[in-house]
Structure formats: structure tokens, C-alpha cells
Amino acid sequence: MNNVILFGPPGSGKGTQAVKLAEAFGLVHISTGDLFRHEMKNNTPLGQKAKDYMEKGQLVPDEVTIGMLNNKVEAHPEAKGFIFDGFPRTVAQAEALDQMLAQKGQKINALIALDVPDEEIVNRILLRGKTSGRPDDNDESIIRNRIEVYKSQTQPVYDYYDDQCRAHTVLGLGSIDEIFGRLNTLFEEVLA
């Protein structure tokens, strides 16, 4: 079982690359955003809990998110592994994910970070904002704040896995296919 976290700031291309890698390596792609929407749309107990918090403008507690991830993993007993996209975002979430997987006799094999300069991130998200319909994708100050939140709250997750010799970095600049080529090479090394 191969489990990988695809990591990087907002707009780094995680979602695009995760789909391509999941297909290439026969892994199940888990996007926490998609997971939340699915659980809420299907009115599951966890979806209802998440919706209650979100409607109050509060963050969804880690245990609710981990519960959703656990359900997704349990729903795919045939999987060769999973690509986690958008999770974990904090060291506490990384520890909870590790604990959940350990209970199944699994682990995170690698965290792979897409390295993209801040100015490129801003440009990509502003470009995405022209078609995404997300107001936060059209405001440069909000985008820059999201980058700072990533650096202060999420970047430590990289260090958490780096301390375990499981973190890797790939240059996230170039065409989608060029970046995929770099990721593909690294995947073959770390999952061998």
C-alpha cells in the first residue's frame, strides 16, 4: 500500500497533478475539498457536522475531517494506495492521519511538495480567478494572506515528515507535463 501526500501552497497545481498521478500509479485521489462537498451533498452524519461548523464560519474540527478520510479509505479496500491532496494542513492533522493509517497497518510513504515562488502562485490564482467563480481568487491581498497562512500553519507539516526522512520537493514551474514528468520520476523512486 502506497500513500502519498501531495503538498504545496494554494495554486501550486496539487489538484491537477494529483489526478494525473493517481491515474498513472493506480492510486485513489482524495481531495479534502471534494470529500467535504460529497459528505455534505449526501447529508451524511459527518457531512451534517461539517456543515454546522461551516455555516457558523468555524473551522471543521480535525476529528470530523479524519472521520471523512477514514470513510473514504474504508470505501476502497481494493486500492493500491491513496494520494492525499489538501490534507494534512497542520502538524496535528498529520499526526492524526498517521494514527488513522497505523490502525490499518499503513503509513504515509512520502510527502511530495511542489515548490513554486510566491509571485507565480499569485499570478496563477489570479488567472484561475477569471474562471473559478471564487471571489477569493480575484483579490491579490486575500491570495497573499492565504500564502502567509500556508507558510505559518501548513509548511511545518513538511518539516514533520522531513524529520522522518519522508519529505521530498519537486520544482513546480513549467508546463503541466514537465511538472508531471518530474513528479513521475520521484514517485517511481519513492514508491519502488
Share of the chain above pLDDT 90, in %: 69
Q: Considering the chain, what percentage of its residues have pLDDT values greater than 70? A: 100
Segment 103-143, tens digit of pLDDT: 999 999 999 999 999 999 999 999 988 988 877 888 899 89
Please name which of 7, 33, 13 lies closest in space to residue 159, comparing C-alpha atoms.
Answer: 7
Range of the domain at 182: 2-190
Is this model's pTM higher than 0.95 or not?
no
- Report the 10 Å Cβ neighbour count for 190: 15
Which of 14, 8, 4 lies closest to 107, judged by CA? 4
Count of domains in the chain? 1
What are 169's strand-pairing partners? 113
Supply the residues annotated as catalytic.
14, 89, 128, 134, 146
Residue 57 confidence (pLDDT) above 80: no
The model's pLDDT over 9-29, given as tens digits with 9 standing for 90+, comes to: 989 999 999 999 999 999 999
Kindly indicate the confidence band of residue 191, based on its pLDDT and cuts at 50, 70 and 90: confident
d(CA 146, CA 159): 19
For the beta sheet containing 2-7, the strands, ordered from the edge strand earlier in sequence to the opposite edge, are 28-31, 81-85, 2-7, 110-115, 167-171
- Which CATH number fits the domain that encloses residue 96? 3.40.50.300
Please tell me the distance from the alpha carbon of residue 18 to that of residue 87, in angstroms, as a whole number: 12
Give residue for cell 496535528: 92
Other beta carbons within 10 Å of 185: 11
Mean pLDDT, all residues of the chain: 92
Q: How far is CA 129 from the centre of its chain?
A: 20
Read off the pLDDT of residues 69-91 as tens digits, 9 standing for 90 and up.
Answer: 999 999 999 999 999 998 998 99
